[in-house]
Structure 1
Amino acid sequence: MDMTDFLTTLQDAFFDWLVHGLGGFSGWQIVTYTLVTTHITIAAVTIFLHRSQAHRSVELRPLASHFFRCWLWLSTSIVTREWVAVHRKHHAACDTPEDPHSPQTRGIAVVLLRGSELYAAAAKDSQMLDQYGAGTPNDWLERKLYTPHSLYGVGLMLAIDLLAFGAIGATVWAVQMLWIPVSAAGIVNGIGHWWGYRNFELADASRNIVPWGILIGGEELHNNHHTYPTSAKLSVRRYEFDLGWAYIRVLEMLGLATVRRGHPQLRLGSARRGRWRMRPC
């Protein structure tokens, strides 16, 4: 093969990779992969970061914990200590000027469009990290890889997507990277303190966005969570559904998790008042 034939073959292979990737996956397979991976990211945030690390309501075995940590490194570049500290500060100063991301003080548009920026800005506060970030992982992987090289993971994910799917892999990667800033940082922290229904009247403005917590893994039930923040289960009424809780129960059955905080139950109050009140299990 002469140089011209070699260059032609190389060019054809390059364009074939751009169009089909190394895997030759169909459009539906790529869409399915994107939806599955983004859903795993949601599960990792609600189970590991939120319920296990921030509120200590679930204890994960090392296998499950390391899987979620690695996946979040690949798909979000979130540093566990920073996320936990910002979230705990949110609960400590909810909907006040000290809240890192409240639409009541910063405006709904700011939280919806710049929620991840608010997280990043708050995470630069070393005093807040010391006060609210205690108890998060501090092993060799965290010190040498996940924290100092948090961007390496998303770079590796980009390389995987491009190799597997070709040029469309860049779009897949963009969706993966935007999933948490839009759904968690924007929708939950924004709409969850601005619009929806309330099972419980609290000092803060938390709302349940919808009664079926599926798309964001149960985080839609935000008013329930703010009422009992250390509960591993976020649904309280019979018609409410918390997908994250269902996953936790599966992990329990597999011996990969232990629920540390009993989930709340509703009891009907006096017939005269007809109100609901919360009772912890």
Structure 2
Amino acid sequence: MTFHSFQTLPENPQPLRINWPTVAFFAGIHALALLAPWFFSWSALGVTLLLHWLFGSIGVCLGYHRLLSHRSFKVPRWLEYAIAFLGALSLQGGPIFWVAGHRLHHAYTEDEYKDPYSASKGFWWSHILWIFYPRQEFFNFECYQRFAPDLARDPFYHWLNRYFWLLQIPVALLLYALGGWSFIIYGVFVRCVILWHTTWFINSVTHMWGYRSFESNDNSRNLWWAAILTYGEGWHNNHHAYPHVAKCGWRWWEIDVTWWAIQLLKILGLAKDVNLPPANAVSLSS
């Protein structure tokens, strides 16, 4: 990624217009998730928690975020593809879309026009409204692909970026075979809604509330409950201060479940060149 490619973003883009099909899609998924009380079972709840971790912690946090967006460690290509596939199953967009947007977020954190989910525009904008009022440079493939050129050159990521949403169909069919409609309601709709909002909390609340361990040119914060819900991503000030470090929770009590998975991959010889916190890092408490 060259810095020049970031400079092509407009300083004052065209007025925003709401995308009603997108609103209808998210509203429909949320409405179906509300059926959960009528389809409850402990096994269905277990499916929700399992898939939230598998698609969220492994697919999004470890894969889309720490591996693909920041390249904070390396794994064999086959494993990278498998982890990215899990990220696509989260229904948070294809890998090129997700990575491009996140890299822009770091390049222009909280900039009103250049950060796709800028917290400077308020909680609801950074949490969800940025999706309902899409801007072409962030949502049109021909525009955003230049912000993730390493992925855009790869045919597999092209395919995954285009067809990620279709992957919910085999997931739903498998869940139906295992547990009927209860597993579909919980394993698809409830899981999607919870995973969406826990991910969006990192865009919104961790730029508003919490404590700061490091000086950074933004309002990023470390927020304990957001870290619990997102397997370690809530230690957001640590991450913004050192975005290419694979570990988000630095202190012993800053629980980072995703980091545990990276450590396991390292022990198994599957993760290499893992970026660790620098020895000369200076915290605000120093």
Normalising to structure 1: TM-score of the pair? 0.77
CA contact (8 A) 1:196 1:208 kept: yes
Matches within 5 A, 1:3-152: 27-43=41-57, 44-76=59-91, 78-97=93-112, 98-104=114-120, 106-114=121-129, 116-117=131-132, 122-124=138-140, 126-130=142-146, 132-136=147-151, 138-143=153-158, 145-152=159-166
- Which deviates the most, 113-122 or 88-97? 113-122
Q: How many Å separate the matches in 2 of 1:256 and 1:137?
A: 24
- Which deviates the most, 48-57 or 172-181? 172-181
Aligned to 1:200, which of 197, 202, 214?
A: 214
Q: How many Å separate the matches in 1 of 2:126 and 2:133?
A: 8
| Alignment partner of 1:246 is 2:260 | yes
Shift of 1:34: 1.4
Q: Give the aligned length.
A: 244
| Alignment partner of 1:154 is 2:168 | yes
Q: Deviations over 1:147-175 (max 9, x none)?
A: 33222101221222233222223321102
Shift of 1:45: 0.9
Q: How many Å separate the matches in 2 of 1:255 and 1:120?
A: 42
| Alignment partner of 1:183 is 2:209 | no
CA RMSD of superposed structures (Å): 2.7
Shift of 1:137: 6.6
Aligned to 1:220, which of 228, 234, 240?
A: 234
- Judged with a 3 Å threshold, the aligned counterparts in structure 2 of structure 1 residues 124 and 32 are, in CA distance, closer, same or farther, namely same
Shift of 1:227: 0.2
Query: What SS does the aligned partner of 2:74 have?
Result: strand
Partner of 1:166: 180
Shift of 1:268: 7.6
Percent of paired sites with the same residue: 26
Larger Rg, first or second structure (1 or 2): 1
Q: How many Å separate the matches in 2 of 1:137 and 1:179?
A: 29
Paired residue type of 1:210: W
Shift of 1:116: 4.7
CA contact (8 A) 1:76 1:180 kept: no
Shift of 1:75: 3.4
Q: How many Å separate the matches in 2 of 1:265 and 1:123?
A: 39
- Which deviates the most, 77-86 or 247-256? 77-86
Structure 2 gap ranges (5+):
1-39
- Judged with a 3 Å threshold, the aligned counterparts in structure 2 of structure 1 residues 125 and 64 are, in CA distance, closer, same or farther, namely closer
Which is richer in strand?
A: 1
Paired residue type of 1:59: K
